[in-house]
Amino acid sequence: MTKTIWIAVANRATARIFTADSPLGALDEIETLIHPAGRAPEQSLVTDKPGRTYDRAGTGRHADSDTAQHDHEAAVFAAEIAACLAKGRETDRFGTLIVAAPPAFLGELRKHLDAQTQNLVTLELDKDLAHLGARELRAYLPERLVRHEA
């Protein structure tokens, strides 16, 4: 297993993957994933109004929208990120994974990570750090990055 550490920072629209060769080392950005629909306004994501339903009893009528389109887009992007991370794990490009994302998106991302990739996660941060550069991100992380014990 490789000793390389990957740091994945993401939000609904952007995911960036950084690498560090040592627990005290600097970060290098190796990949960026963009999901423009994550920033799009709700009305541009749907082409029609939601369907209307009637209450079983009474005369109530309301829009039928169980899942917001933004939630769907977040799930699609989280699955894309998880697939990218799984591929990196399968090709032995990293042995430790650190993940940072806003709380709701971090939860969505967890749902899509396979068990083997999830087992390599040594640190999760529930913050949106996707806008930070490598130097700023490194300053935000612990001085010594914890490696996964094989």
pLDDT tens-digit readout, 2-17: 899 999 999 999 999 9
Check whether 118 has a pLDDT greater than 70: yes
* 10: three-class secondary structure by DSSP: strand
- Lowest-confidence segment of 1-15, 54-68, 85-99, 132-146 by average pLDDT: 54-68
Query: Residue 93 has what pLDDT?
Result: 97
Stretch 127-141: mean pLDDT: 95
Contact 4, 20 (CB under 8 A): yes
- Residue 70 pLDDT grade (very low, low, confident, very high; cuts 50, 70, 90): confident
* 146: three-class secondary structure by DSSP: coil
- Lowest-confidence segment of 55-64, 105-114, 122-131 by average pLDDT: 55-64
Top-level class of domain 5-140? alpha beta
Query: Residue 44 has what pLDDT?
Result: 47
Check whether 46 has a pLDDT greater than 80: no
Ordered by start, the domain boundaries in the chain are 5-140
End-to-end Cα, the chain, rounded Å:
8
Stretch 84-100: mean pLDDT: 97
- Residue 29 pLDDT grade (very low, low, confident, very high; cuts 50, 70, 90): very high
